[in-house]
Amino acid sequence: MQKDQLLSRLLTRRRALFAGAAAVGAAGTAGLVVLGSEAETVRTAAPAAGPQAHRALKPSAYRLQPLTGYGPPRAAPRRTLVRSAPLLRVNGRGRTMVLTFDDGPDSRYTPAVLDTLAEYNVHAMFFVCGEMAELRPDLLERMVDEGHVVGNHTWSHPLLTQLGRRQIRSQMERTSDVVEEACGVRPEWFRAPYGAWNRAAFQIGAELGMEPMAWTVDTLDWQTPGARTIADRVEKGAAPGVVVLSHDAGGDRSQSVRALRDYLPDLLDAGYHITVPRRQYA
């Protein structure tokens, strides 16, 4: 083979190698992370077009390394969905409602609430505080055994908007640990005390595997307005998808206990289905 022919073949192979590497580099830049209004989502963008396309798709030096390697391919990172607002209502067929109780468990009132729910074969959500749950893990175990959902209401009921990220995480994570120890599962729902949410609370809650749940109807039972007033607020606010906020701790909750015995049979007689929600994903 002539020297000129050998040199020509070598140059042709080198051009082919660099052309293939450039194509791989262009394909590798197509994946973009886009932040939506309610959740982080991953989308695929088309390659850049126009006079800047060549510059945008220029491969890095690492793209020229061999494309074969050892071991299984790396899995795509799992996406963390971060909401920008809490869930206020629930989806369900017909006249579906959700009852929620905050701040417990409390030895004086929580057992009575559970007894009433059991009497009517109704399930509810309990957003517990870690410092209370630590004292009565047996009540958390009973909640789960009877089909209720245990949610995270922070450790000591602080105003999250006045805390740093590390403090918010500690409040949530400690409570989830106590719930898991008592029930064998970690909470999938959380509620900010006082309904005071911020971006950090949504992000940290999502990182801990929880959805934010607020409410539609506030009974204001913490003001102790009387059992009949509490019951009237629930019955007047009843509608498909409504989430009702009550309390089973944090003060004298005897009115809340009596009100539940009044409005629960009335809601059932009116055709409402009282249940607990499933996780929702954006």
Marked catalytic residue, from 54, 102, 115, 157: 102
DSSP H or E stretch at residue 12? helix 3-28
Marked catalytic residue, from 157, 221, 247, 248: 247
* Residue 266 is among the residues annotated as catalytic for this protein: no
The angle formed by the CA atoms of residues 163, 166 and 170, to the nearest 5 degrees, is 95
* Residue 102 is among the residues annotated as catalytic for this protein: yes
CB 178, CB 202: distance < 8 Å = no
Q: In terms of DSSP bridges, do strands 96-102 and 40-44 run parallel, antiparallel, or are they unpaired? A: unpaired
- Extract the tokens encoding 73: 């391919």
Catalytic residues: 102, 247
